[in-house]
Amino acid sequence: MVRTIERLPKRQRHQLLTGLIEDNPFITDQELTRQLKVSIQTVRLDRLELGIPELRERMKLMAERSYDAVRSLPLHEVIGDIVDLQLDHSGISIFEIKEEHVFSRTGIARGHHVFAQANSLAVAVINDEIALTATADIRFVRSVKLGEKCIAKAYVRSGGRSKAKVEVCSYVGDELVFQGHFVIYRSAGESGIEGGMDGADRN
């Protein structure tokens, strides 16, 4: 199977590779290898010929693009690197799972790190100086492992003066690993944040 696809005309292979990266700018060379059924060397050479930078450089370029500034919490309190943010609409962050995030025996990420990335992005996407998590309905779809990059995508599904509903889906490659539905209270509706809501988790 590998040989068959490697024998495809280079132009056709380049078109496939370009399309995959356009669909998912965060795809790794290893994932391209699996999807194209070619060697890692072939993927890297194809990228060089096409002038497509490696994943780390693509992430840096996306982060340098102009996007809305986070208002609801200091940027250093956001878990993961924000690469796109449209306040009260949507946001994307990337979080690489490192040694300090996993159980030493299994190499599996501790759940609270995956949750923290999603929760802090749900707060960051809110266009208000104060935003607090009120409730979270979450689902861990599969374990995230050491070395994997978790891509969280947040969407504001509904909003009002006092609260907003934010959906966050986290992926490794194209595979869903976490899903959460958050209700975020905002300072515009401070009168509704009573009975302990001030203690809600911010990140």
Instruction: Write the CATH number for 42.
Output: 1.10.10.10
Q: Which stretch, 23-32, 57-66, 152-161, 189-198, has highest mean pLDDT? A: 152-161
Residue 96 has pLDDT above 60, yes or no: yes
Residue 136 has pLDDT above 80, yes or no: yes
Write down the number of H helices and E strands in the chain. Answer: 6, 6
Write the pLDDT tens digit of every residue in 13-61: 899 999 988 888 878 888 888 888 888 899 999 999 888 888 878 877 7
25/125: higher pLDDT? 125
Do 49 and 76 lie in one domain? The reply is no
Do 51 and 112 lie in one domain? The reply is no
Instruction: Write the CATH number for 92.
Output: 3.10.129.10
Do 72 and 149 lie in one domain? The reply is yes
Determine the pLDDT at residue 79: 93
Determine the pLDDT at residue 69: 78
Do 54 and 71 lie in one domain? The reply is no
Number of domains in the chain: 2
Work out the angle between the directed axes of helices 10-23 and 40-50 (0-180°, nearest 10): 80
Distance CA 58, CA 168 (A): 22
The residues, any chain, with a CB within 8 Å of residue 55's CB and separated by 6 or more, are 26, 27, 28, 29, 149
Maximum C-alpha span of the chain: 66
Do 173 and 188 lie in one domain? The reply is yes
Distance CA 61, CA 54 (A): 11
57/98: higher pLDDT? 98
**How does the average pLDDT of the chain come out, rounded?**
84
Determine the pLDDT at residue 158: 87
Mean pLDDT of 7-13: 80
pLDDT band at 83 (very low <50, low <70, confident <90, very high): confident
Do 56 and 81 lie in one domain? The reply is no
Residue 2 has pLDDT above 70, yes or no: no
Do 56 and 73 lie in one domain? The reply is no
Write the pLDDT tens digit of every residue in 20-32: 888 888 788 888 8
Determine the pLDDT at residue 109: 97
